[in-house]
Copies of this chain bind each other. A is one copy, B any other.
Amino acid sequence: MRFTSQTSSDGVTEQLFALPFAFGEIPGVLWTPDGDAGTRPLILMGHGGGQHKKAPGIVARARRFAAECGFAVVAVDAPGHGDRPRSEEHDRIIAEIRTCAQTGGELTPLIAGFHTLLTGQTVPEWRAVLDAVQELDHVGAGPVGYWGMSLGCGLGVPFIAAEPRVRAAVLGLNGAETSAEAAAQITVPVEFLVQWDDEMVPRAASLALFDVFASAEKTLHANPGKHGEIPAFELDSTLRFFARHLG
């Protein structure tokens, strides 16, 4: 794990890193409260499709997790996103998704196919990132949570199902098509966000994914609005959810 930069503002330290791994270096970012060493809860954040590890929605949430809860937070670029190279197959699928979204076609099978393509790579990558980050003095092997919407949910579900260190997850904006089988193996507490007027994920597919989680504690929060329009008060709820289960 190689750190390439470190900055601090408003009590939160941000470190960019690159982690060598089988499919090439994984570029990532780690946020921690300034100055504290010692073990703390860790949140892994999976960004949405077309976004990257420092997308505004990721940074804003990560800084609140660190500043208000004292958590460490890590985000990495998914394959084909951010600072990572895109394969020809990535390019082809992303172009198909864009065209389909513009022409009002059936998005679900395209998105499901893209998630399936990436998952074989991202599950071992997240495990490698978790191994590396938990060895740091200012993170340590504390309880782990996962946050991921949309692509970050699609890639997160198989990872959480496979990784016993993850103890709680906030997921959403994704349907049952790709990940129902893995979701049925998840037993940790889940807070699941649905946008009631989501133009990319059919409402029934979202409800079906919530239905399949095997968790004794799972809670669905649905709000009006489109795919990208999660209301601000849900972040307050996310903070309390993680504080309750990891704090």
Please list the residues of chain A having a beta carbon within 8 angstroms of any beta carbon in chain B. Answer: 194, 196, 207, 210-211, 216-224, 231, 233, 236-237, 240, 244
- With known contacts A196-B211, A211-B196, A237-B237, A223–B218 Cβ distance under 8 A: yes
A217 to B, closest residue via Cβ: B231
Q: How far is the CA of A16 from the CA of B63 in the complex (A)?
A: 49
- Contact between B222 and A210 (Cβ–Cβ < 8 Å)? yes
A230 to chain B, nearest CB (A): 11
- Contact between A222 and B224 (Cβ–Cβ < 8 Å)? no
- Contact between B220 and A221 (Cβ–Cβ < 8 Å)? yes
* Residue from B211, B216, B223 within 8 A of A219 (CB atoms): B223
- Contact between A224 and B218 (Cβ–Cβ < 8 Å)? yes
A213 to B, closest residue via Cβ: B224
- Contact between B220 and A220 (Cβ–Cβ < 8 Å)? yes
A197 to chain B, nearest CB (A): 10
